[in-house]
């Protein structure tokens, strides 16, 4: 009986470790962070994937040379971390509409496939939003999938629930995994609607839609969390990294908003909420996605540390 119990405990521990190893922690870094050597501040032992944002072509569909990118990817591979080029972004160039059109689509796909090969990247992350997810999006993703998958490359996407009707079931089925941008519910572009831009309730609603209503498999979903805040009202900055928030306002790390003497308020996710969202992701998703890693604080105030503690059940 004791032998059986011991074997059961060992097997349970192995299953727990395997589950933790499979859980993705995806962090975005900006292109200039990589090329200008700022990315050394990240604790890479706590991430599984790096998405480099944003590597966009010019209006002719050509990509500029990026010295240092391959060296970074090679270094990450030595740490067993996958590296993807993320295209688009919330302010993606308007000419994507032309690049995705039938006459230009194949050339763009070929150049993206070559980009992943040239810099030894593990795939392409597509962060096209709003009007950029147009009538040509499905054809583009279908062609890009056909170009990347035979080479063993990943194809992922950043999606927002507010644009949910623009993503077809076929498109969603082609992504290896999907990063849910569960933030930016409001922001400086909507000064008339101040308030939390990434409340816990939004994460629950987003998971209810993508995992529940859409029925996407748990392992394909990553819950997005913000390492930044937005300010509204007198004296409040329009945006502020979590690093800057906790270094400026003592005690802010355990709150989700901070009211300034002038009357304005900064809204963000503090350590308790990040831990709660990570618990939610462990229950209903296959990972966490972070925008963006260099917004984090250091040491005991680090949100990445908070994510890691929950994933590995540290106390």
- Residue by residue, DSSP assigns the chain as -HHHHHHHHHHHHHHHHHHHHHSEEEEEEEHHHHHTTGGGGS-GGG-SEEEEET----TTSPPPP-TTHHHHHHHHHHTT-EEEEEEE-TT--TTHHHHTSHHHHHHHHHHHHHHHHHTT--EEEEE--GGGS-TTHHHHHHHHHHHHGGGT-EEEEEE-GGGGGGS-HHHHHH-SEEEE----SS-TT-TTS-S-SS-HHHHHHHHIIIIIIS---GGGEEEEEESEEEEESTT--SEEEHHHHHHHSTTGGG-SEEE-TTS-EEE---HHHHHHHHHHHHHH-SEEEEE-GGG---GGG-HHHHHHHHHTT--
pLDDT of residue 35: 83
Question: What's the pLDDT at 4?
Answer: 42
pLDDT, position 21: 54
Indicate whether 178 belongs to any domain.
yes
Q: Has residue 53 been placed in a domain?
A: yes
Residue range 262-287, pLDDT digits in tens: 999 999 999 999 999 999 999 999 99
Q: What is the pTM of this model?
A: 0.92
Supply the pLDDT for residue 17: 42
Q: Tell me if 156 is assigned to some domain.
A: yes
Which pLDDT value is given to residue 6?
Answer: 40
- Report yes or no on 109 lying in a domain: yes
- CATH code of residue 291: 3.20.20.80
Task: Tell me, yes or no, whether 7 lies in a domain.
Answer: no
Pair 98, 104: CB distance under 8 Å: yes
**Would residue 238 count as lying in a domain?**
no
Range of the domain at 70: 24-228+269-311
Report, as ranges of residue numbers, the positions in the chain whose pLDDT lies below 50. Answer: 1-20, 315
**How many independent structural domains does the chain possess?**
1
Residue 305: inside a domain = yes
* 3 within some domain: no
């Amino acid at each position: 009986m004791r032998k059986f119990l011991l074997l059961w405990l060992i097997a349970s521990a192995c299953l727990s470790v395997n589950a933790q190893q499979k859980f993705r922690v995806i962090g975005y870094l900006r292109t200039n962070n990589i090329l200008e050597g700022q990315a050394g501040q990240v604790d890479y032992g706590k991430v599984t994937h790096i998405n480099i944002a944003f590597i966009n072509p010019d209006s002719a569909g050509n990509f500029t040379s990026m010295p240092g990118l391959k060296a970074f990817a090679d270094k990450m591979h030595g740490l067993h971390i996958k590296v993807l080029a993320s295209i688009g972004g919330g302010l993606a160039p308007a000419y994507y509409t032309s690049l995705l059109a039938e006459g230009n689509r194949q050339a763009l796909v070929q150049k993206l496939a070559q980009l992943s090969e040239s810099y030894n990247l593990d795939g392409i992350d597509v962060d096209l939003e709003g009007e950029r997810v147009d009538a040509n999006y499905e054809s583009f993703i279908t062609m890009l999938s056909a170009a990347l998958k035979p080479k063993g490359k990943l194809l992922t996407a950043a999606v927002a629930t507010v644009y949910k009707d623009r993503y077809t079931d076929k498109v969603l089925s082609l992504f290896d995994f999907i990063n849910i941008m569960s933030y930016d519910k409001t922001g400086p572009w909507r000064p008339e609607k101040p308030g939390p831009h990434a409340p816990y309730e939004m994460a629950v609603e987003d998971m209810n839609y993508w995992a529940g209503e859409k029925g996407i498999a748990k392992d394909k979903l990553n819950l997005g969390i913000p390492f930044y805040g937005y300010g509204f009202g007198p004296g409040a900055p329009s945006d502020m990294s979590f690093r800057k928030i906790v270094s400026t306002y003592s005690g802010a790390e355990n709150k989700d908003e901070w009211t300034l003497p002038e009357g304005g308020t900064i809204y963000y996710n503090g350590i308790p909420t990040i831990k709660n969202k990570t618990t939610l992701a462990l229950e209903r998703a296959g990972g966490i996605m972070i925008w963006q890693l260099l917004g984090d604080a250091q040491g005991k105030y680090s949100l990445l540390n908070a994510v890691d503690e929950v994933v590995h059940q540290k106390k």
